[in-house]
Amino acid sequence: MNTNLKKIIVAVIAITFLISCDAVNNANNTQKGAVIGTATGAVLGGIIGNNVKGKNSALGAVIGGVVGGVAGGVIGKQMDKQAQKIESEIPGAEVTRVGEGIDVVFDENSGVYFDTNKSNINSKSKTNLNKLARIFKEYPDTNIIVEGHTDSSGNDAYNMTLSQKRANAVSAYLVSQGISKNRLTIYAHGETLPKYDNATPEGRAKNRRVELGIVANEKMKQDAQKQVKQ
C-alpha cells in the first residue's frame, strides 16, 4: 500500500471513531463494536474505492470484502494472528492489516521477485513461498489474491502478459505445496502499478514482483456471524 493511502486510512479510522462516540456512549461493548465497525468499514470502502483501481487488486479485494460490525471484529482477530505469523516467519515482509484482511508487500530479501523477462520462480522465492504455504494451511478459511507486476521495460501488452505468467507461476507453486486452487484469485497488472522508480535498475528490480492479499472466505464470514448471534 502506498504511504499516502495508509495515511488516509489511519485518518479515516480516527475521524470515524470520533463521529461514532455519541452513538455508542450508552451502548454495551458488543453494540459499540457493531457501530464503530460498520461505520469504519463503510467509510473505508468509499475511500479505497476512489484510490484503488477497482477490486481487481489485492488491496481492492481486501476492502471489497469488508463485513463490518461485530462479525468483522471476530474476523479481524483471526487475521491479526495470521498477519503476526507471516511477520515472524518472513522477516522483512511488510504486512499490513487493512479492514478485515491482510495486504503483504515484500522487500528484495523476503519476497517473490523475477529476473528481467522471466516468470520462473527462483530458489529464494520458493523458500518464502514454502513458508507462506505452511501458514496458509494453518488458516484454511482464508482466500489468497495473487498479483503479478512488471517493470516498465517493454511494451504494455507484453508486460501485461508477463505479469500474468508471474502470477500464474506463484499460484501454481502454492497449489503444488498443497494450497487449494479454489482459494486463489489471480490478477495481472503489467507495469501499471509500480511501487518503485522505474528509472533506476534497483527500482525496476523491485517492481518485478508478485504481491499477495488475504481475505476471509464465506465459511469464515458465516462462522463469525454465528459466533456473534450466540
**Residue with cell string 522487500:** 107
- Which pLDDT value is given to residue 4? 52
DSSP 183: G
**Residue with cell string 471484529:** 73
**Helices marked H in 57-96 — which ranges?**
58-64, 69-89
For residue 98, the surrounding DSSP H or E stretch is strand 94-98
Q: How far apart (Å, rounded) are the C-alpha atoms in residues 153 and 158?
A: 9
In this prediction the pTM is 0.74
One pLDDT digit (tens) per residue for the chain, 230 residues = 455 555 545 444 444 444 334 433 443 333 333 333 434 443 343 334 334 444 567 777 777 767 788 888 899 999 999 999 999 998 878 898 888 899 888 766 677 888 888 899 988 889 989 999 999 999 999 999 999 999 999 999 999 999 999 999 999 999 999 999 999 999 999 999 998 999 999 999 888 888 899 999 999 999 999 888 87
Domains of the chain are 68-229 (3.30.1330.60)
**3-class SS at 147?**
strand
Q: At what angle do helices 218-229 and 69-89 cross, to 10 degrees?
A: 130
